[in-house]
Structures are given as structure tokens and as C-alpha cells.
């Protein structure tokens, strides 16, 4: 009789063995095969360690050293929800809650993954790579629910909100929602996704998105990661953009004790575009990581990335961004900028932009800067009678706003501006 | 445009193979048995009549190496190396000191001539009695040369002139005998034995290299230079260079490297350690032109080198300049440890990969002292099926207040089968530090080419000129004579890559 592992990869593998016959799609052959394959990959590699190049700067000890429970199967209480002007899908601990969602009359098909799974063969798992990304393997092995969003060809579907809440509980739940977004030819959609949770609750939120943008379609994907202080957010987004399509991702990475925002975008048809922007804000005790990987796999594509990180207290920020230009991708135009502002002597930033280029007729560049608030700027404001704390707050906000301004989509920009505003004051630290 | 004209002449004069240093010198050599084990390490140490502490040091390195794994993280591909299938000691047989050039092994002289070493210096290098004492060629700035042939240093010139200033410039084997205290104090203090796989291998089996000590307050009156030459078949070259610049001293050091053309791959795993004390400056320039292999990627040198400088003193400065045109594979990251307050590190690099060459090169700047500054300028040129990677690290420790780094990496692609990659790492733990990095990748613009063609240059000339312009920021950091050589090399290395 061997002891049951309560922490680390073994605990999650044990849970999979226990749940294997009860998970959604358990008796559907292709789902079983998909999960088993992912479990094999996860068993072989386990959680990423810092010896893996992609995880050089982010340590998952907070995940591997802790015990997590299963989310409660039914939540009776209805948590207070912020008001919204848009149709909204609500998840609590990774489970879709139709009772809390308001999806009537939307111009798109929205379904819970748990229900839709059997008809999604070839779609779920089309983009995720459990063999490369251990967290995608963990998600594939254990996902129970998620959102399936499909927009028919030519439809302008407006704005959809996805709200993911963690419930107040002592169970330290781990949940792994799997979301699927598919836009037909020429369709358009804006998604505003918010992830949040109670201040003191411990939980692990490990969502995976698989996003398909067809020819000429346009998806604006705004993400506000505002998890609770003890939450852990490990998210992986996979997007594939066909000819003439656009994927616009903006991530506000602000909450959680440990947050990883990993985005893989492939531009697979000519003239496809990707815009990936974001701001990361970390205060005392936080670790925020944004890792992007952009595949230019077709000619005449363009990509723009701007990421800003501000760090206060004892915090750590990570940015890793790779642009891979394949040999066929002639006339690629790729640009990436990442900038970090250190507001505390105890903060650390690690930055690794990366170009991998196999085509010659390309224009690719990246830039990175790291520094503190500019003394001249501060002096300029103070000399005009603005108190130091306020002057600093203005400069921090101005620094972040530069990235937010790049967002073309109005509802997303508004949400982001609200997320950024007043962050520095809330830190309550004198740097 | 004299430089360009010269470049073109050189291009036209090279053989079909494009590598004019591909000759082999047939001189009598002494080898240690093939393979690598503790006995070989002992053999090398005994051959060099080394003190017991150095043998112990080597054996410790060998023990470490045996437990280490060959690194695989670099973006280079090559078949596994059989470390037992090489000679770790090869030396030209020592003869009695010749009286004049006529008595010197003519093959050795021919080698020097082909390497472009002036006759006067040939005599000094060949060890002709009295040759080192007379003044040098009229009006020309003398260059003191140490020539390293396979495993051993064969000769060093201008020793006496340098000795008048108190400067020590000799082979490291000689330094072990003559200045054991200095060697013992500094050897391995910048690159420890167990630093990495190749450094450990080098520490165990290094056979020679140059040793330089510049005393306090002395500005070295001439350029110091080493020619490295791999000659014998199936040998590896493991040289070890140690340069110490004492307080307020200044030295400029150059190295050049060539090797014969062969179908087999040969390993070159050198270690270079630099130490700069208070207010000292070391300028280290390399023109690396090891045999790159033929156009099908057969043969060529594996250049796996560890170079590191420690700016130990306040206001000290170490500047690396490298022009990397040769080698089948280059794995090299000349680095600076900026310990002293206000110390400065610089890295200027041009790396060309043509045909099947692969280069993974860059630098590491460790900012430890206050107000330390570093500049990185890297120019990568990829042609044919070449793969060129810049990989660099800028690390700022929490106490490096006011540290400053600027990095610029530009890549130029010529042809659609090559690759250019940029992998910078920035790790900053100090709020008051400022780090900037920028990188671009592009190809030679049509309008630039058109402009040159319109003025009567053919395509190859135009490309040579544009590439020289692209690399100018780095080339201007080289000492004059090397800069001219380097320009020619750039053009030759790119031969056949256009059209």
C-alpha cells in the first residue's frame, strides 16, 4: 500500500486516475485518448522546473509544494456580481453557471464545454500542445468545463464578457477550465475576460484557450487578471489566425500571488495580424510573468507587441517574448517592445525578448528597457507644485497608459483604464 | 575607397576554396598518445616540467570534467564529439637555437610568411639569436608577437624591450617556470576549473598560451599579439591566456587564429582570463579565422571558447572586440565581471556565417559595483545556409546602484536559407540601474544595392561595401592594422553568397 501523494504532479495524476471514468467525455473514445496522451506527457515531464528554458524565471514551488482540493460540485450561494452592460458568461471555480449568466439574445453560439464536448472532435486539442507545455497537459487531463463560443461567418457579434470567480472556501480548489473560441470567415467579436477571487482564498486557476480566427475575421480579446492575493493564475492561450484575420490580445496581469500569462499565436495565412499588448503590475509578494510566442508562418503578416511592467515592494516581474519567422514568411513586419519600471529596491525584473528568423526579406525588431522613474520628469512635476506621491502616481500611470492607448477596442480600453487607474496609490508604499 | 579596392583585390586573389590559410606545414612533431585520461594529463604536466600544485590543479579539473555534461543549449548542431579520438599534445620538435634565419626550419618560416608576419618578426619568432634586440622596421609601430603552434608557444618577440618596462610577455608555460607566484595567484581566478564543460577540459589539458603582466602605472608601448595556429591532424588546441593589468596600467592585446583545411572537424577549446586592477585598461581584440569547412559543410574548427575578464579595481575597463569569420561552429561569450566601482565593460562583435557555418556568440555583463557601465554592440551577418545567434546576458546585482547598460544587436540576412537569431537576457535587481536593449533584423535593401550598382560597382563589390558599412561601428574599435585585415576578411567570407 503506497501513500497517496497530496502535492505536486503525483497528486494531480492521482486525481486524474480517480476521476478518469467520471470526467466529461469519459466514454467518448477521442476524448479519452486526448486525456490519456496528455496524462502521459504530464507524467513524463511533471510540473515545469526552472531548468526548462521557458520557465527559467518562474518557480512553481507555490504550486508543487501545496495541496489542492477539488472544487465543490455545487455552489448554492450566488456571489455578488458587478453590473455589466454586455452579455456575460459566469464561471465559479471553473464551472459554468447558467443561473448567473446573461446570454439571452446574443448573436453568437455560447455553450458550456461540459455539454458540447462530444461534438467538438478535432477542435478541442487542435491547437494546444500538451507535449510541449506541461500546464496545457495538466489542463487537458483534468478539464471539466469551459466556454464554447462560435461566431458564424460574417456576423459582427459585439461584446461578450467572461467572468471567472473563485468561491470563498477552505478547500484550496484547483480548476482547469478549457475555453474554445471560433470565429467564422469575416466574423468579429470582442471578449472581455475577467478573472477574480476572494482576497484571502487559496486556489489554482489554470485556464487554457484555443482560439481560431478564420479568414478576414477579427477577435479582440481583453483580459483582466485580478485574482485574489493568495490565488495562483497559470493561463495558456493558443490562437491561430488565418489569411487577413486579426487577433488582438491585451492582458492586464495584476492580481494573484503567482501569475503566468502565456500566449502562443500562429499567423498561418498571408496578411494576418497579431497585436499583443499588456501591462503587468505587481506589489509586495507578487510574481507576474508574461510569456509570448509568435509564429510568423505565412508571408506578408505583421505583428505588434508592447508590454509594460511596474514593480513595487518585494515583487518580481518576468517578460519573455519570442518571434519566430519561418522561411516562407517573407515580407514579415514584426515589432516588440517591453519596458519595465522598478519602483522599489526589492523588486526584480527578468526580461528575455527573442528573435528567431529564417526568412531574409523581413523587418523585425525588438527593444527592452529597464529603469526607475525618470528624475527629470519627477522634478518637472514637483517644480510645478505637485506633491511627490502624486507626481509619482502620475508618472506610473502615464507609463502604463502608453500600452493601454494602443488598444483599439473601446470597451476593452475602458475596462483596462479602470484597472490601471489608482494602482500605485493602492500599493501604499513610499519608494 | 582604398579599403574597398584592397578588399576586391584580395577577393580576386584568393583561391577557389576561398580560404588562403588552408595550408598545412610539414614539420617534425612530437605527439602524446591519442585519447584522454589521467595519464595524459600527467604526461602534459611532466612534459612541461610543472610544479606539483599545477598538476593537482589539472587533475582536479579533469575529475570535474568527467562528471560534467556537454552543453546542448546553444543553437548549434553537430555530431557527437569523441573526446578519446584526438591528440591532446602536439609540439614541433625543439632544436638548438638557430644562428640565423637560414638555419630555421624553412617550413616554419614559410608558415610565418603565409600568416603575414614580417620578416623581422619571423626571425625573432624563429628564435634567431640577437634578433629581438635591434629596433624594429622603420617608422612602423612594432607589435610584439607570441606564436602558438598547435599545443605550444614557439616563440615570443620583443621580450627584452618589454622587459625594460617591467612588462612580462611570454608563453604561459614559461610563466609557470619563471613567475609561479603570479600564475598561481591568478590562474583560474576568473574562469574556475569547473566553470563549464569546455573550460574544465581546457584546465585539465591546456598546453600553452600567452601570459601578460603589466606592472603598476605602465602603459604598454606596443600592441601585444598572439597568432594561434592549429597545424597537426587530429589534434585539439587548448590554449590558455592570462592577462593581468596592475593598477593604472594599459595594454592592447590582439589574437589571430588560422588552421589548415581538412575534412575532419577539430576542436579548439581555449580559456582566456583577464584581470584589471584599479584604473587599469585591457583591450582585447580577436580576428578569428579558423578554417570554416568547405561549402558543403565538411570539416572546419569547432571553436568552443571561454573568455572572461574581471574588472576587479575601481575605474578599471575591459573592452572585447571580435571579428568572427572562421570556424564551422563558434560557441563563445566573452564576458566582463564589473566588480570595481565605476568600472566599464565593452563588447564589440562582428560575426559572419556563410555556407554551413554556425555561430552562437555574445557576451555576459555582470554589474556588481556601483556606477558600472557596459556597452554591447553586436553585428551578425548570415549568408548561404549559415545560422547566427546573438546570446547575451546583462545581470545587475542589487548593490550595483547607478549601473548602466546599452545593447544593440543588428542582424543582416543575405539569402533566404540562412537564419539570424537574437536571445538577450536581462536580469535586473537594482532599482537605480538602467538597461536598454534594441535589436533589428533586415536584409540589404534593394535601394542600397541599386545605388551602388548605378555607380558602376558589381553586385559583389556592392555587398562588400554595404557589409563593411554595417559592421563599421565594430571595426573602428580594432587597432588600425587589424581593421584593414578584418575588412578584407568580411568580403572574403561572403564570397559567392550573392547572385
- Band (pLDDT 50/70/90 cuts) for residue B381 is very high
User: Is A36 strand, coil or helix?
Assistant: helix
Residue located via cell numbers 579599403:
B3
- With beta carbons less than 8 A apart as the criterion, state whether B310 and B340 touch: no
pLDDT at B121: 55
Q: Per the CB < 8 Å rule, is B411 touching A352?
A: no
Q: Per the CB < 8 Å rule, is B440 touching A364?
A: yes
Q: Which of B75, B385, B431, B434 to mutate to test the interface with A (most CBs of A within 10 A)?
A: B431
Closest-CA distance of chain B to residue A50, Å: 14
Cell of B384: 548561404
Q: Report how far apart, in Å, the C-alpha atoms of B290 and of each of A407, B268, B428, B466 are.
A: 51, 9, 36, 24
Q: Which of A77-91, A332-346, A415-429, B209-223 has the lowest mean pLDDT?
A: A415-429
- CA angle B467-B469-B473, nearest 5°? 115
Phi and psi dihedrals of A174, rounded to 5? -115, 125
Q: Per the CB < 8 Å rule, is A368 touching B437?
A: yes
Residues 6+ apart with CB under 8 A from A279: A251, A252, A253, A254, A307, A308, A309, A310, A400, A403, A404, A416, A420
Q: How far apart are CA B445 and CA A360, in angstroms?
A: 11
Q: How far apart are CA A174 and CA A177, in angstroms?
A: 10
Contacts of B430 in chain A (CB under 8 A): 342, 345
Q: How far apart are CA A228 and CA A224, in angstroms?
A: 12
Q: Per the CB < 8 Å rule, is A344 touching B431?
A: yes
Q: Which of A111-120, A315-324, A416-425, B10-19 has the lowest mean pLDDT?
A: B10-19
> Among partner residues B73, B416, B423, which is closest to A359 by beta-carbon distance?
B416
Spell A11-37 as b/e; 16+ CB within 10 A means b: bbbebbeeeeeebbbeeeeebeebbeb
Which runs of E-coded beta strand occur in B279-386?
Answer: 281-288, 300-311, 317-324, 329-332, 335-338, 344-353, 358-361, 364-367, 373-383
B412: nearest CA in chain A? Answer: A360
B399: nearest CA in chain A? Answer: A345
Closest-CA distance of chain B to residue A191, Å: 33
Q: Per the CB < 8 Å rule, is B436 touching A348?
A: no
> Among partner residues A343, A345, A350, which is closest to B427 by beta-carbon distance?
A350
Spell A180-211 as b/e; 16+ CB within 10 A means b: bbbbbbbbbbbbbbbbbbbeebbbbbbbbbbb
Q: Regarding predicted confidence, which is higher, A85 or A316?
A: A316
Q: Alpha helices, DSSP H only, in B272-386?
A: none
| DSSP H or E stretch at residue A226 | strand A218-226
pLDDT at A411: 87
User: Is A35 strand, coil or helix?
Assistant: helix
**B120–chain A Cβ distance below 8 A for any pair:** no
Using alpha carbons, select from B106, B85, B119, B94 the residue that is nearest to residue B25: B106
Residues in chain B: 499
Per-residue pLDDT reduced to its tens digit, B9-68: 433 333 334 566 666 666 666 777 888 899 999 999 998 899 999 999 999 999 999 999
Q: Which of A357, A369, A374 to mutate to test the interface with B (most CBs of B within 10 A)?
A: A357
Whether residue B268 is predicted with pLDDT greater than 90 in this model: the reply is no
- Band (pLDDT 50/70/90 cuts) for residue B137 is very low
Q: Per the CB < 8 Å rule, is B416 touching A327?
A: yes
Whether residue A277 is predicted with pLDDT greater than 60 in this model: the reply is yes
> Among partner residues B398, B429, B438, which is closest to A367 by beta-carbon distance?
B438
Closest-CA distance of chain B to residue A369, Å: 4
- Cβ-based burial of A1 (10 A; exposed 0-12, middle 13-18, buried ≥19): exposed
Cell of B128: 634567431
Number of residue pairs across A and B with CB atoms under 8 Å?
Answer: 113
User: Is A247 strand, coil or helix?
Assistant: strand
- With beta carbons less than 8 A apart as the criterion, state whether B233 and B264 touch: yes
Per-residue pLDDT reduced to its tens digit, B74-110: 888 888 888 888 888 877 665 555 566 666 666 666 6
Per-residue pLDDT reduced to its tens digit, B270-324: 999 999 999 999 999 998 888 888 888 888 888 999 999 999 999 999 999 999 9
Q: Regarding predicted confidence, which is higher, A114 or A271?
A: A271
What residue spans define the domains of chain A? 8-374
Q: Which of A334, A343, A360 to mutate to test the interface with B (most CBs of B within 10 A)?
A: A360
Q: Regarding predicted confidence, which is higher, B107 or A32?
A: A32
Q: How far apart are CA B339 and CA B314, in angstroms?
A: 8
| DSSP H or E stretch at residue A388 | helix A388-404
| DSSP H or E stretch at residue B267 | strand B265-268
- With beta carbons less than 8 A apart as the criterion, state whether B448 and B437 touch: no
Helix axis angle for B2-13 and B459-470, nearest 10°, is: 120
Helix axis angle for B38-47 and B197-205, nearest 10°, is: 50
Per-residue pLDDT reduced to its tens digit, A140-150: 999 999 999 99
Given its phi and psi angles, is residue B475 left (phi above 0), alpha (psi -120 to 50 degrees) or beta? alpha
- With beta carbons less than 8 A apart as the criterion, state whether A303 and A268 touch: no
Per-residue pLDDT reduced to its tens digit, B400-450: 999 999 999 999 998 888 999 999 999 999 999 999 999 999 888 888 889
Q: Per the CB < 8 Å rule, is A360 touching B416?
A: yes
Contacts of A364 in chain B (CB under 8 A): 440-442
Whether residue B145 is predicted with pLDDT greater than 80 in this model: the reply is no
pLDDT at B118: 55
Q: How far apart are CA B213 and CA B227, in angstroms?
A: 18
Per-residue pLDDT reduced to its tens digit, B183-196: 999 999 999 999 99
Per-residue pLDDT reduced to its tens digit, A397-425: 999 988 888 888 888 898 888 888 888 87
Using alpha carbons, select from A86, A128, A82 the residue that is nearest to residue A108: A86
Q: How far apart are CA A357 and CA A171, in angstroms?
A: 47
Q: How far apart are CA A208 and CA A138, in angstroms?
A: 10
Whether residue B130 is predicted with pLDDT greater than 70 in this model: the reply is no
- With beta carbons less than 8 A apart as the criterion, state whether B235 and B150 touch: yes
pLDDT at B445: 83
pLDDT at B4: 35
Q: Which residues of A touch B (CB under 8 A)?
A: 53, 327, 330, 340, 342-345, 347-372, 431
Q: How far apart are CA B465 and CA B324, in angstroms?
A: 18
Q: How far apart are CA A344 and CA A227, in angstroms?
A: 22
- In chain B, % of residues over pLDDT 70: 78
> Among partner residues B416, B426, B442, which is closest to A351 by beta-carbon distance?
B426
Compute the 3-state secondary structure of chain B and give helix, strand, coil in percent, each to the nearest 5: 25, 35, 40
Contacts of A356 in chain B (CB under 8 A): 419, 421
Closest-CA distance of chain A to residue B370, Å: 14
Q: Per the CB < 8 Å rule, is B418 touching A359?
A: no
Q: Per the CB < 8 Å rule, is B435 touching A369?
A: yes
Whether residue B133 is predicted with pLDDT greater than 50 in this model: the reply is no
Q: How far apart are CA A347 and CA A285, in angstroms?
A: 10
Using alpha carbons, select from A46, A65, A62, A9 the residue that is nearest to residue A316: A62
Cell of A155: 456576423
Q: Alpha helices, DSSP H only, in B115-214?
A: 119-125, 159-164, 172-178, 180-186, 197-205
Q: Which of A289-293, A346-350, B62-66, B415-419 has the lowest mean pLDDT?
A: B415-419
| DSSP H or E stretch at residue A178 | strand A178-183
Q: How far apart are CA A324 and CA A365, in angstroms?
A: 12
Contacts of B415 in chain A (CB under 8 A): 360
- CA angle B126-B131-B137, nearest 5°? 105
- Cβ-based burial of A82 (10 A; exposed 0-12, middle 13-18, buried ≥19): exposed
Q: Per the CB < 8 Å rule, is B432 touching A372?
A: yes
Radius of gyration (C-alpha) of chain B in whole angstroms: 22
pLDDT at A1: 41
Per-residue pLDDT reduced to its tens digit, A34-56: 999 999 999 999 999 999 999 99
- CA angle B459-B461-B463, nearest 5°? 70
Contacts of A369 in chain B (CB under 8 A): 434-437
Closest-CA distance of chain A to residue B188, Å: 27
> Among partner residues A348, A349, A362, which is closest to B441 by beta-carbon distance?
A362
A315: nearest CA in chain B? Answer: B429
Contacts of A360 in chain B (CB under 8 A): 413-416, 418, 443
Q: How far apart are CA B427 and CA B429, in angstroms?
A: 7
| DSSP H or E stretch at residue A139 | helix A134-142
* Predicted TM-score of the model (pTM): 0.89
Using alpha carbons, select from B282, B269, B251, B267 the residue that is nearest to residue B209: B269
- Band (pLDDT 50/70/90 cuts) for residue A336 is very high
Residues 6+ apart with CB under 8 A from A384: none
pLDDT at B255: 86
Q: How far apart are CA B74 and CA B215, in angstroms?
A: 38
- How many C-beta atoms lie closer than 10 Å to residue A52's C-beta? 12
- Band (pLDDT 50/70/90 cuts) for residue B342 is very high
Contacts of A355 in chain B (CB under 8 A): 411, 420-423, 439, 441
- With beta carbons less than 8 A apart as the criterion, state whether B392 and B360 touch: no
A57: nearest CA in chain B? Answer: B427
How far is Cα of residue B95 from the mean position of the Cα atoms in its chain? 29
Tell me the sheet residues that pair with B317: B281, B344
Compute the 3-state secondary structure of chain A and give helix, strand, coil in percent, each to the nearest 5: 20, 40, 40
Q: How far apart are CA A42 and CA A134, in angstroms?
A: 6
Q: Per the CB < 8 Å rule, is B413 touching A366?
A: no
Q: Per the CB < 8 Å rule, is B421 touching A366?
A: no
Contacts of B436 in chain A (CB under 8 A): 367-370
DSSP state of A126: S
Q: How far apart are CA A9 and CA B291, in angstroms?
A: 49
How far is Cα of residue A29 from the mean position of the Cα atoms in its chain? 30
Closest-CA distance of chain A to residue B127, Å: 50
- Band (pLDDT 50/70/90 cuts) for residue B480 is confident
ipTM of predicted assembly, 2 dp: 0.90
pLDDT at A355: 94
**B430–chain A Cβ distance below 8 A for any pair:** yes
Q: Report how far apart, in Å, the C-alpha atoms of B367 and of each of A57, A415, B244, B371, B427 are.
A: 19, 40, 20, 9, 10
Residue located via cell numbers 489569411:
A243
Amino acid at each position: 500500500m503506497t501513500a497517496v501523494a497530496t502535492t505536486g504532479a503525483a497528486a494531480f495524476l492521482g486525481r486524474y486516475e480517480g476521476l478518469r471514468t467520471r470526467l466529461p467525455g469519459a466514454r467518448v473514445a477521442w476524448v479519452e485518448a486526448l486525456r490519456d496522451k496528455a496524462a502521459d506527457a504530464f507524467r513524463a515531464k511533471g510540473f515545469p522546473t526552472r531548468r526548462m528554458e521557458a520557465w527559467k524565471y518562474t518557480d512553481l514551488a507555490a504550486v508543487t509544494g501545496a495541496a489542492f482540493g477539488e472544487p465543490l460540485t455545487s455552489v448554492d450561494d450566488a456571489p455578488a456580481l458587478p453590473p455589466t452592460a454586455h452579455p456575460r458568461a459566469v464561471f465559479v471555480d471553473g464551472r459554468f453557471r447558467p443561473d448567473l449568466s446573461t446570454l439571452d439574445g446574443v448573436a453568437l453560439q455560447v455553450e458550456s464545454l461540459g455539454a458540447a464536448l462530444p461534438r467538438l472532435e478535432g477542435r478541442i486539442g487542435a491547437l494546444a500542445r500538451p507535449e510541449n507545455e506541461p500546464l496545457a497537459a495538466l489542463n487537458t487531463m483534468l478539464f471539466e468545463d469551459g466556454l464554447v463560443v462560435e461566431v458564424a461567418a460574417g456576423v459582427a457579434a459585439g461584446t461578450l464578457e467572461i467572468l471567472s470567480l473563485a468561491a470563498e472556501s477552505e478547500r484550496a480548489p484547483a480548476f482547469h477550465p478549457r475555453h474554445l473560441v471560433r470565429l467564422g470567415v469575416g466574423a468579429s467579436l470582442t471578449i472581455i475576460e475577467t478573472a477574480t477571487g476572494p482576497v484571502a482564498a487559496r486556489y489554482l486557476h489554470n485556464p487554457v484557450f484555443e482560439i481560431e480566427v478564420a479568414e478576414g475575421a477579427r477577435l479582440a480579446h481583453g483580459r483582466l487578471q485580478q485574482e485574489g492575493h493568495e490565488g495562483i493564475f497559470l493561463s495558456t492561450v493558443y490562437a491561430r489566425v488565418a489569411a487577413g484575420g486579426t487577433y488582438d490580445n491585451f492582458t492586464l496581469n495584476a492580481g494573484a500571488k503567482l501569475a503566468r500569462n502565456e500566449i502562443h499565436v500562429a499567423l498561418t495565412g498571408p496578411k494576418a495580424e497579431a497585436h499583443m499588448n499588456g501591462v503587468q503590475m505587481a506589489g509586495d509578494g507578487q510574481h507576474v510573468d508574461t510569456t509570448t510566442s509568435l509564429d510568423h508562418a505565412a508571408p506578408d503578416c505583421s505583428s505588434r507587441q508592447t508590454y509594460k511592467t511596474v514593480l513595487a515592494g518585494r515583487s518580481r516581474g518576468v517578460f519573455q517574448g519570442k518571434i519566430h519567422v519561418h522561411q516562407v514568411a517573407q515580407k514579415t513586419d514584426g515589432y516588440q517592445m517591453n519596458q519595465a519600471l522598478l519602483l522599489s529596491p526589492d523588486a526584480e525584473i527578468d526580461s528575455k525578448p527573442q528573435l528567431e528568423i529564417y526568412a531574409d526579406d523581413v523587418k523585425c525588431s525588438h527593444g527592452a528597457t529597464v529603469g526607475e522613474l525618470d528624475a527629470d520628469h519627477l522634478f518637472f512635476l514637483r517644480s510645478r507644485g505637485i506633491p511627490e506621491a502624486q507626481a509619482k502616481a502620475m508618472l506610473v500611470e502615464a507609463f502604463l497608459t502608453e500600452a493601454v492607448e494602443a488598444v483599439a477596442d473601446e470597451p476593452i480600453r475602458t475596462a483596462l483604464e479602470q484597472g490601471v487607474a489608482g494602482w500605485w496609490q493602492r500599493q501604499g508604499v513610499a519608494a | 575607397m582604398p579599403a574597398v579596392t584592397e578588399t576586391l583585390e584580395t577577393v580576386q586573389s584568393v583561391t577557389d576554396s576561398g580560404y588562403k590559410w588552408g595550408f598545412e606545414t610539414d614539420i617534425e612533431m612530437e605527439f602524446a598518445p591519442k585519447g584522454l585520461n589521467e595519464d595524459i594529463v600527467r604526461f602534459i604536466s611532466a612534459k612541461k616540467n610543472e610544479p606539483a600544485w599545477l598538476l593537482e590543479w589539472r587533475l582536479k579539473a579533469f575529475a570535474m570534467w568527467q562528471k560534467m555534461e556537454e552543453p546542448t543549449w546553444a543553437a548549434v548542431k553537430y555530431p557527437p564529439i569523441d573526446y578519446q579520438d584526438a591528440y591532446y599534445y602536439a609540439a614541433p620538435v625543439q632544436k638548438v637555437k638557430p644562428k640565423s634565419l637560414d638555419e630555421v626550419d624553412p617550413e616554419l618560416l614559410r608558415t610565418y610568411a603565409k600568416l603575414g608576419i614580417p620578416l623581422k618578426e619571423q626571425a625573432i619568432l624563429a628564435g634567431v639569436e640577437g634578433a629581438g634586440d635591434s629596433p624594429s622596421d622603420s617608422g612602423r609601430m612594432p607589435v610584439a608577437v607570441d606564436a602558438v603552434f598547435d599545443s605550444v608557444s614557439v616563440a615570443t618577440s620583443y621580450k627584452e624591450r618589454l622587459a625594460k618596462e617591467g612588462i612580462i610577455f611570454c608563453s604561459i608555460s614559461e610563466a609557470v617556470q619563471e613567475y609561479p607566484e603570479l600564475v598561481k595567484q591568478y590562474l583560474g581566478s576568473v574562469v574556475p576549473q569547473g566553470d563549464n564543460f569546455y573550460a574544465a577540459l581546457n584546465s585539465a589539458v591546456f598546453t600553452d598560451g600567452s601570459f601578460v603582466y603589466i606592472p603598476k602605472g605602465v602603459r604598454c608601448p606596443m600592441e601585444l599579439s598572439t597568432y594561434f595556429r592549429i597545424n597537426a591532424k587530429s589534434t585539439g588546441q587548448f590554449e590558455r591566456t592570462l592577462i593581468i593589468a596592475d593598477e593604472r596600467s594599459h595594454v592592447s592585446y590582439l589574437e589571430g587564429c588560422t588552421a589548415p583545411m581538412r575534412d575532419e572537424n577539430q576542436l579548439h577549446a581555449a580559456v582566456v582570463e583577464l584581470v584589471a586592477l584599479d584604473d587599469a585598461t585591457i583591450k582585447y581584440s580577436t580576428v578569428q579565422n579558423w578554417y570554416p569547412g568547405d561549402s558543403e559543410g565538411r570539416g572546419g574548427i569547432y571553436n568552443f571558447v571561454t573568455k572572461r575578464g574581471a574588472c576587479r579595481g575601481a575605474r578599471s575597463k575591459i573592452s572585447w572586440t571580435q571579428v568572427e569569420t572562421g570556424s564551422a561552429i563558434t560557441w563563445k561569450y566573452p564576458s566582463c565581471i564589473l566588480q570595481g566601482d565605476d568600472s566599464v565593460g565593452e563588447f564589440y562583435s562582428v560575426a559572419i556565417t556563410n555556407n554551413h557555418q554556425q555561430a552562437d556568440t555574445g557576451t555576459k555583463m555582470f554589474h556588481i559595483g556601483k556606477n558600472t557601465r557596459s556597452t554591447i554592440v553586436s553585428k551578425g551577418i548570415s549568408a548561404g545556409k549559415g545560422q547566427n545567434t546573438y546570446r547575451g546576458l546583462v545581470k545587475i546585482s542589487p548593490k550595483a546602484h547607478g549601473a548602466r547598460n546599452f545593447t544593440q544587436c543588428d542582424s543582416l540576412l543575405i539569402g533566404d536559407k540562412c537564419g539570424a537569431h537574437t536571445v538577450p537576457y536581462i536580469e535586473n535587481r537594482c532599482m537605480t540601474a538602467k538597461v536598454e536593449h534594441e535589436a533589428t533584423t533586415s536584409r540589404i535593401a534593394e535601394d542600397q544595392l541599386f545605388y551602388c550598382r548605378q555607380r558602376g560597382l558589381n553586385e559583389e563589390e556592392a555587398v562588400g561595401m554595404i557589409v563593411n558599412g554595417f559592421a563599421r561601428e565594430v571595426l573602428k574599435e580594432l587597432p588600425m592594422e587589424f581593421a584593414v585585415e578584418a575588412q578584407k576578411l568580411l568580403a572574403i567570407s561572403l564570397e559567392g553568397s550573392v547572385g
